[in-house]
């Protein structure tokens, strides 16, 4: 892995907005150590089992592998997360949603039927959770399985029930990108709403980006304002840096 | 990247900030890169699917650098990491003269 040099200026294709997001929002860890709750404990246990399983799988021969796969961590832990989800733990519901592709017991044909009530439950009961934006991103990533119209309807609802501006903006943004070409008026209405009410979010930046021209960011112009997010979920605005000389470095490690 | 590190260190006590905008790396590769290159400054992580800041600035080639004056005006846009040294020093000198 090398850092791209000046000589190696690389061109990357424009990336479509409707693509599934990879970034997850990580809740900011509190300074004081909080006691580990049941969900965190179960998730930690699962992750450890997964590491162990991966190791065993690597060392196994063909026959052993088949046996290991029949008793994979996802198979063993799925019912436990499911029970927790049914008991009202929203993060367990989100866990099911985010691990459904690894669960071989749920065929891809059946995914929609399993996912839809899970997303509905999250939107109805956990719209005020700090991880709700992650659920909105997951819904967008799973729209194929949930169904396009159903996904848009759920995102519309999420935009209303969500507590944080970021989650509201995310819901409107994904709904707008999904309806995009087929219903440009609706898409524009939602994009405009993001621009008006939630401009100070990452999605506000994305909504503005969809209208940007190269002239907006040439030498002599005032730099377009944007909100950036670090890999840990910390958000900052370029406007906070007025009064300083700022160098922006658009880069990749690839 | 070592060059950017020097730039940050040189202006440690000046009203200057370097902000990285990462595009196109997977989370694992990003963590690895931060470690390998000793990145200490603020860096936005856009990932591979959604790249709002690059899109807003119509960035086509990497790396691309922009230098902004204290009022947010774009003073430089280009691909040379060494060119920005002089631009930054010049803007900082002007800001200092103004402040006096």
- Give the per-residue pLDDT at B49: 78
Does B97 touch chain A if contact means CB atoms closer than 8 Å? no
Are both A135 and A253 inside the same structural domain? yes
Are both A139 and A214 inside the same structural domain? yes
pLDDT tens-digit profile of A182-202?
999 999 999 999 988 999 899
Average pLDDT over residues A40-63: 95
Are both A168 and A217 inside the same structural domain? yes
Chosen for mutation from A138, A237, A253 (greatest number of chain B CBs closer than 10 Å) is A253
Are both A134 and A248 inside the same structural domain? yes
- Whether A19 is in a domain gets the answer no
- Whether A26 is in a domain gets the answer no
Q: Which domain holds residue A135?
A: 129-254
pLDDT tens-digit profile of A106-163?
998 999 999 999 999 999 999 999 999 999 999 999 999 999 999 999 999 999 999 9
- Please list the alpha-helical segments (H only) found in chain A: 38-59, 62-69, 73-86, 90-99, 111-125, 132-141, 143-146, 148-161, 165-179, 184-197, 202-209
- Whether A50 is in a domain gets the answer yes
Sequence-distant (≥ 6) Cβ neighbours of residue A75 within 8 angstroms: A103, A104, A105
- Whether A114 is in a domain gets the answer no
- Whether A101 is in a domain gets the answer yes
CATH topology of domain B2-94: Glutaredoxin (3.40.30)
Q: Model-level pTM greater than 0.80?
A: no
pLDDT tens-digit profile of B71-84?
999 999 999 888 99
The two tokens of residue A14 are 């424009």
Contacts of A177 in chain B (CB under 8 A): none
Are both A159 and A63 inside the same structural domain? no
Q: Which of A10, A12, A245 sits opposite B68 (nearest CB)?
A: A245
Are both A203 and A241 inside the same structural domain? yes
Calculate how close chain A gets to B99, using CA atoms only, in Å.
11
- Give the per-residue pLDDT at A23: 46
CA-CA-CA-CA torsion sign (B68, B71, B74, B76): negative
Q: Residue ranges per domain, chain B?
A: 2-94
Are both A142 and A92 inside the same structural domain? no
ipTM above 0.95, yes or no: yes
Q: Judge whether A140 and A21 are in contact, CB under 8 Å.
A: yes
Are both A215 and A143 inside the same structural domain? yes
Residue A246 and residue B67: Cβ atoms within 8 Å? yes
Residue B43 and residue A230: Cβ atoms within 8 Å? yes
**Helical (H) or strand (E) element with B16:** strand B16-22
């Amino acid at each position: 892995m090398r850092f791209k040099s000046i000589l190696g200026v690389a061109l990357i294709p424009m990336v479509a907005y409707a693509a599934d997001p990879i970034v997850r929002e990580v809740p900011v860890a509190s300074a004081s150590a909080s006691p580990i709750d049941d969900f965190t404990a179960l998730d930690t246990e699962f992750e450890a089992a997964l590491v162990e399983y991966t190791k065993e799988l690597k060392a196994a021969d063909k026959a052993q592998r088949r046996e290991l796969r029949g008793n994979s961590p996802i198979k063993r832990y799925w019912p436990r997360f499911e029970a927790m989800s049914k008991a009202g733990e929203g993060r367990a519901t989100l866990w099911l949603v985010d691990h459904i592709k690894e669960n071989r017991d749920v065929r891809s044909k059946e995914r929609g039927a399993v996912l839809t009530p899970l997303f509905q439950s999250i939107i109805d009961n956990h719209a005020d959770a700090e991880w709700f934006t992650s659920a909105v991103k997951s819904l967008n990533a799973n729209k194929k399985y949930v169904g396009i119209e159903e996904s848009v309807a759920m995102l519309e609802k999420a935009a209303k029930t969500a507590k944080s501006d970021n989650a509201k903006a995310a819901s409107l943004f994904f709904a707008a990108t999904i309806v995009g070409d087929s219903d440009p008026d609706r898409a524009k209405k939602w994009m405009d709403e993001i621009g008006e009410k939630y401009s100070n979010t990452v999605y506000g930046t994305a909504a503005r980006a969809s209208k940007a021209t190269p002239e907006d960011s040439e030498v002599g112009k005032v730099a377009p304002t944007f909100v950036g997010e670090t890999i840990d979920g910390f958000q900052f605005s370029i406007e906070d840096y007025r009064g300083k000389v700022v160098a922006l470095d658009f880069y990749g490690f690839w | 990247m070592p060059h950017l590190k020097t730039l940050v260190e040189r202006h440690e006590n000046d009203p200057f900030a370097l902000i990285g905008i990462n595009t196109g790396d997977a989370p694992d590769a990003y963590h690895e890169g931060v470690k390998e290159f000793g990145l200490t400054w603020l860096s936005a992580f856009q990932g591979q699917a959604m790249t709002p800041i690059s899109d807003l600035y119509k960035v086509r080639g990497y790396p691309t650098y922009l230098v902004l004056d204290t009022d947010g005006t774009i003073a430089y846009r280009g691909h040379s990491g060494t060119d920005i040294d002089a631009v930054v020093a010049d803007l900082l000198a002007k800001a200092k003269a103004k402040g006096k």
